[in-house]
Structures are given as structure tokens and as C-alpha cells.
């Protein structure tokens, strides 16, 4: 049994070595930059954007907090249980926290419009021009948003729903993973995008069961 596990681990390492090799060859001396893709939802047509339901209480989505090693420009991958590498030639085009925050707001709004169980909130970004003093706030903290040596994309952390008095209403862990469909950083970014959609699916489901402030 231990021999079988050893073989599987070697295959995973070989797969991830292929990813690294494919992205660090001599032809990759130019820095490549990546944006998180826009989530594709077949039930929402491009020419029919979602409608804001301003009758609902605001949910202020605060900027996503990233652990220190995710805060750089380079896309991160985990090469072993306790080693991570930040890519030199494959970087996020824009601040990752900003990309994640806006993507989460957009996805929650989209899910609000297509779900049979609405969120009970209208998600918005932090905005000093809008009175948000009585609004509940959503804080997402991520400790993983990276590829891993097992051939997948991982998102881990937690989210907190906090009321205007600073009292925590709900806390849930985040632990989602998606397998890569191909080698390379394009596939890794796509897998991270798919994993993020899984996270917002779970988040939307939890928020729909939460009573908003009155």
C-alpha cells in the first residue's frame, strides 16, 4: 500500500514539475500577466445584465484579505506539503485582492438574480459616498489561492458576516479544490476561477439563509 502511495505521489510531483517546466523555459523570459476570468453563467445573457435590487439591505463586501505569501505579484504554487514558490514570469496583472473582491461582488449579484432563494442582501463594495453605517459586512480571509503539487487549484480560508456593531453573525471555513484540465498557468488560472465560483456558490447559499438587518 505504501508503494502505491509513493507511486501516486511521484506522479503528482511529475505533473506539477511539468507545469513548472512549461512556464520557466528559455522562451518564457518575458513576464506574462493574468487576469481572473469573468465567471460564465449560462443562465445569464450578456445583453441582459442583472438588475440592482436597492430595496434590499446592503451587504458591504470588504477587500479580501490575503495571507502574506499571496500578496505578491507572482502566481503562487505549492511544490510540497510545506514549500511554496512564487512565479517570477507569471504574475497577476492587477492587485489580486481587488480582482477577488470585485469578482465575488459580481458573482453574488448574479446568483441573487437567478436563485430561487435570494441572498436577502444587495452586495456592494466599500464606498465612502454611500451611507454604510448600518449595513452588515462580509470579510473574506484567504490562506490559499494557488496551485498545488497534487495537480489542482486550492482556495482555503474563511469568511465572516459581521453586523454594524461589530458582532459576528456567521463564520464559515473555505476549503475548495479543482483539478487542472491541462498543464501551464493558463489552466491554473482557469482552475482557480472555477474554484472561486464554487466558493461563491456556497457563500450565496449560506447568505440566503441569513436574516438581514431590519
Question: What length does the chain have?
Answer: 214
Answer whether residue 197 is part of any domain: yes
**Per-residue model confidence (pLDDT) at position 106:** 95
Closest CA to 122 of 41, 49, 73, 58: 58
Residue 213 lies in a domain: no
pLDDT digits 0-9 by tens, 184-210 = 999 999 999 999 999 999 999 999 887
Is 60 part of any domain?
yes
- Give the domain extent around 79: 2-208
DSSP string, 19-77: HHHHTSSGGG-SPEEE-PPPPP-TTS-TTSPPPP-TTSPEEEEPPPEE-GGGSSSEEEE
Tell whether 73 is covered by a domain. yes
Say how many domains are in the chain.
1
Q: Distance between CA 77 and CA 147 in Å, rounded?
A: 4
Phi-psi map region of 139: left, alpha, beta (phi>0 left; psi -120 to 50 alpha) = beta
SS3 142: strand
**Residue 214 counted as domain residue:** no
| Helical ranges in the chain per DSSP H | 2-22, 96-114, 185-208
Domain-embedded: residue 65: yes
Segments of the chain with pLDDT less than 70? 1-28, 40-54, 113-117, 211-214
Identify the pLDDT of residue 20: 54
Residue 165 has a pLDDT of 92
Contact in structure between 28 and 89 (CB atoms under 8 Å): yes
Instruction: Please report the pLDDT score of residue 43 as a whole number.
Output: 44
150 occurs within a structural domain? yes
For residue 83, give the CATH number of its domain.
Answer: 3.40.50.10610
Direct distance between the N- and C-terminal alpha carbons of the chain, in angstroms, rounded to an integer: 58
pTM to 2 decimal places = 0.82
> What pLDDT is attached to residue 44?
46
Is residue 22 included in any domain, yes or no? Answer: yes
Return the pLDDT at 42: 44
Amino acid at each position: 500500500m505504501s508503494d502505491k502511495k509513493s507511486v501516486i505521489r511521484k506522479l503528482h510531483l511529475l505533473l506539477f514539475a511539468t507545469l513548472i517546466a512549461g512556464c520557466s523555459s528559455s522562451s518564457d523570459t518575458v513576464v506574462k500577466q493574468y487576469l481572473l476570468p469573468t465567471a460564465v453563467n449560462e443562465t445569464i445573457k450578456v445583453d441582459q445584465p442583472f438588475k440592482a435590487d436597492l430595496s434590499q439591505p446592503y451587504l458591504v463586501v470588504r477587500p479580501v484579505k490575503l495571507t502574506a505569501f499571496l500578496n505578491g505579484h507572482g502566481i503562487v504554487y505549492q511544490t510540497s506539503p510545506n514549500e511554496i514558490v512564487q512565479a517570477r514570469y507569471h504574475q497577476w496583472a492587477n492587485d489580486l485582492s481587488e480582482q477577488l473582491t470585485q469578482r465575488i461582488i459580481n458573482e453574488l449579484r448574479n446568483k441573487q438574480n437567478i436563485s430561487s432563494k435570494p441572498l436577502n442582501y444587495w452586495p456592494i463594495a466599500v464606498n465612502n459616498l454611500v451611507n454604510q453605517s448600518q449595513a452588515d459586512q462580509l470579510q473574506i480571509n484567504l490562506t490559499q489561492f494557488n496551485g498545488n503539487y497534487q495537480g489542482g487549484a486550492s482556495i482555503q480560508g474563511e469568511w465572516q458576516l459581521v453586523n454594524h456593531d461589530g458582532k459576528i453573525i456567521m463564520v464559515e471555513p473555505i476549503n475548495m479544490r479543482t483539478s487542472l484540465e491541462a498543464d501551464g498557468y493558463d489552466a491554473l488560472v482557469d482552475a482557480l476561477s472555477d474554484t472561486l465560483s464554487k466558493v461563491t456558490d456556497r457563500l450565496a447559499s449560506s447568505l440566503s439563509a441569513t436574516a438581514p438587518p431590519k
